[in-house]
Amino acid sequence: MKQKLLTTLATLSLTLLSPQSIATDTTVIYAGSVLLGAKQTLEKQRTIIIKDNIITDIVKGFPSVVELKLPDAHVFDLKNQFVLPGLIDMHVHVTFERDATVNPHQWLTEYEADNALRSIKYLKRSLDAGFTSVRDLGGNYKVIFPLKRAVERGDITGPRIFAAGNAITATGGHGDLHGYRKEVSDVMTSSLGVCNGADDCRRAVRNVIKNGADVIKITATGGVLSNTAAGVNQQLSDDELAAIVDTAHHLGRKVTAHAHGTQGINAALKAGVDSIEHGSYLTKESMELFNKTNAYLVPTLLAGATVSKEVLSNPNMPTAIADKVREVAPKMEASFKLALKNKVNIAFGTDSGVSRHGLNADEFVLLVKYGMSEKQAIMSATVDAAKLLGQQDRLGQLSVGKQADIISVNGSPLDDITTLKNVQFVMKAGNVYKNQL
Ligand SMILES: [Zn+2]
């Protein structure tokens, strides 16, 4: 592992793309304050010992490397820092960033490589913001999977990526292409995830998994940012939803449903999806379904806040989209509060790409503003997110045996959640990518 990384480093001429330091066989971190274990218990003065990419021990106090019998260890002094696990964002679009100043047709002039190259800076920003893992929900499979592999090889710098690839959507659904004449749509639409009828949706699920999907993203209802006045109600029928969930689960993949309208949310939950994205119109029945199935809500409050702001200043936003923004975005706050009150499982997700990559921690501020405790908000982006990823044995907490994904901030986020907007130190799998100390 170490040899492979060093070889990769030697071949890179741009130091910008390489970690600041490569893990020696052993690394020692002195942590002033730290959240430890599955319960994220606050402890003071702990020493974290890392071998390669794994946490091998956590001891009290600050013993010297000689006392630890690790004289050659690489040492990071975070005695004045608040240390916590690397953050996990369960809803991003790393191949995309919304920019009202860019010609909306620019993408038609570009190749997938343009898209992938532009995404490199989005990935770097996300990692610099302390997000060591992200779940990408609905990106062109020709772009997102090569990016994921490039990060794994160490060719580019970014969070660990879990990706859906193309979303499963009905013809004309939120995940399909809108707003162009038919001849353009026919050429530019990827048919990979478009399906109609239960059998066809089974095919689509098998197809996206064959092409690399770690998770299945479906568009159960209409969406706010698709250029069509088709509302945000249910788009995949009950039998299609059941076929999708059944097929995905047989193939060992979780299903997450983009869903705004109540009927679509509840139908997706009844079909057995593992999580709901957005969940803008939640009702009492939704609460019962969440609590019965143990599904997660990924609230994406930042997406609502971002487009609500944009609609006020961007005269070029198509009417079909602007109308839905004004209608849907203000509903997200009440739905989130309802879910919180009913103790629904909540995992952190920003829909970054709608907002700028690297501002992911703004979601924490909204979660706390609308009623989550600081501790709950941190749990949603660490332990709870790891559970929804199915990665709880590897990620989301600082414990012996887990991946060394470790970040630090100035001051306690338990007292002031905005400290998470200014991450000082980022380690992913034992390698340090940012160190402002
Ligand atoms: Zn999204």
**Which residue shows structure tokens 């390669």?**
52
CATH code for position 249 = 3.20.20.140
Residue 162 has pLDDT above 90, yes or no: yes
Question: Does 95 lie in the same domain as 80?
Answer: no
pLDDT in tens, 225-277: 777 776 788 999 999 999 999 999 999 999 999 999 999 999 999 999 999 99
CA of 351 to the centre of ligand 1 (A): 5
Is there a contact between 157 and 433 (Cβ–Cβ < 8 Å)? yes
The average confidence (pLDDT) of the chain is: 91
Q: How far is the CA of 355 from the centre of ligand 1 (A)?
A: 10
Contact 244, 236 (CB under 8 A): yes
User: Are 145 and 118 in the same domain?
Assistant: yes
Q: How far is the CA of 189 from the centre of ligand 1 (A)?
A: 18
- For residue 262, the surrounding DSSP H or E stretch is helix 262-271
The pLDDT confidence band at residue 25, using thresholds 50, 70 and 90, is confident
Q: Let me know whether 285 and 136 are in one domain.
A: yes
Please tell me whether residues 419 and 288 are part of one structural domain. Answer: no
pLDDT at 10 over 50: no
pLDDT at position 429: 97
What's the pLDDT score for residue 178?
A: 76
Number of domains comprising the chain: 2
> Is the same domain home to 254 and 154?
yes
Q: 422 and 330 in one domain?
A: no
* 3-state SS class at 182: helix
Distance 420 CA to ligand 1 centre (A): 22
| Domain identity same for 82 and 93 | no
Rounded to the nearest angstrom, the distance between the alpha carbon of 137 and the centre of ligand 1 is: 6
Residue 9: per-residue pLDDT:
41
Give the Cα-Cα-Cα angle 338, 94, 245 (nearest 5 degrees): 55
Q: Look up the domain containing 412 and give its range.
A: 2-86+397-435
**Mean pLDDT across 329-355:** 95
Are residues 97 and 192 located together in one domain of the fold?
A: yes
Identify whether residues 316 and 381 lie together within a single domain: yes
CA of 435 to the centre of ligand 1 (A): 30
Q: Name the least confident of 133-147, 313-327, 349-363, 418-432.
A: 313-327
Same domain, 137 and 261: yes
β pairing state of 26-36 and 406-409:
unpaired
Distance 40 CA to ligand 1 centre (A): 28
320, 227 Cβ separation under 8 angstroms: yes
Q: Are 201 and 244 in contact (CB under 8 A)?
A: yes
Residues 62 and 183 grouped into a single domain: no
Pair (91, 125) in one structural domain: yes
d(CA 182, CA 187): 9
Residue 230: predicted pLDDT: 67
What is the Å distance from ligand 1's center to 101 Cα?
Answer: 20
Task: State the Cα–Cα distance between residues 170 and 188, nearest whole angstrom.
Answer: 16
- The enclosing domain of 34 has a CATH number of 2.30.40.10
